[in-house]
Amino acid sequence: MTITIKDAAGIAAMRTACRLAAEVLDQLTPHIQPGITTLEIDRLSAEIMKQQGTVSATIGYQPPGYPAYPAHLCTSVNQVVCHGIPNDKPLKKGDIVNVDVTVIKDGWYGDTSRMFMIGDCSIAAKRLVSTTYDAMWKGIEMVRPGARLGDIGHAIQKFAEGLGFSIVREFCGHGIGQRFHEEPQVLHYGKPGTLDELKPGMIFTIEPMINAGKRDIKEALNDGWTIVTKDRSLSAQWEHSVLVTETGYEVLTLSAGSPAIPAFVKTLQPTAATA
């Protein structure tokens, strides 16, 4: 399958879809407090999507070999690496949770996720969450025409492993546009100068999953979706959708409520959310 290059109209549509996905997280943020259930977070997200005129890409999503996904978003708590299904267990102080939102607007997909720390978390949890966020941005900063996908993975891997964390290898970022998952696959580890060359008009996600312990994972709960760390250590993930521009990159999933961009990021192109 070839990598799709978006034209001006496609890029404009993706800007809208990605911004709306980020705004779902903006509106959820005040509610993500001790005592709320992930099922309630899911219910709120459905209301927000209805109000903004989007639909969830995840509910009913069924790739080959998987059961249909039953919720409007993914909520991955503590040792859950990804694809956590919302449930009726209340979040408690000290938990960390990734909320992963993908919306569809006029046939275009916007995909982003954020970590939330519930109440006062341990130093170890805070360090994992902040390191994963910075690692994502280390990868984003590699994006420019002529660079290679391996440059992104290498930057993420070198940074995270240098601080004693491990990179999940079985899941990766992906191209996105008028389909949820397109080429290319965006690995979060690798060698510089390898894999596909980046070209203007490419849009893909960068979404490292980083573990506090070993990188090994396994399926849990026999629900066909939930993935956990094998050693039960904490796992964190952040995700942005990124456009390759003529001169560098544009992060499409920035919004008014997005977390502060790390101080080391020097190449950010202004967008509606940051200008």
Residue 9 pLDDT: 98
- Cα–Cα nearest to 242, from 1, 22, 2, 88: 22
- Is 257 among the domain residues? no
> Model confidence over 98-120: pLDDT tens digits?
999 999 999 999 999 999 999 99
Confidence of residue 267 (pLDDT cuts 50, 70, 90): confident
Residue 192 pLDDT: 97
Average pLDDT of 25-48? 98
Residue 266 pLDDT: 85
Confidence of residue 220 (pLDDT cuts 50, 70, 90): confident
- Is 33 among the domain residues? yes
End-to-end CA distance of the chain: 36
- Is 93 among the domain residues? yes
- Is 275 among the domain residues? no
Domain count, the chain: 1
- Is 3 among the domain residues? no
What CATH number is associated with residue 76? 3.90.230.10
- Per-residue pLDDT at 93 exceeds 80: yes
Rounded Cα distance, 84 and 75, in Å? 5
Instruction: Name the residue range of residue 34's domain.
Output: 8-251
- Is 261 among the domain residues? no
3-class secondary structure for 23-81?
A: HHHHHHHHHCCCCCEHHHHHHHHHHHHHHHCCEECCCCCCCCCCCCCCCCCEEEECCEE
- Is 274 among the domain residues? no
In the predicted model, what is the mean pLDDT of the chain?
Answer: 96
Confidence of residue 1 (pLDDT cuts 50, 70, 90): low
- Is 207 among the domain residues? yes
Within 106-254, strands assigned E span 108-117, 166-167, 173-175, 182-186, 203-206, 209-211, 217-219, 227-229, 235-237, 240-244, 249-251
Q: How many C-beta atoms surround the C-beta of residue 122 within 10 A?
A: 12
Average pLDDT of 58-63? 97
Average pLDDT of 84-103? 98
- Cα–Cα nearest to 239, from 212, 210, 275, 267: 210
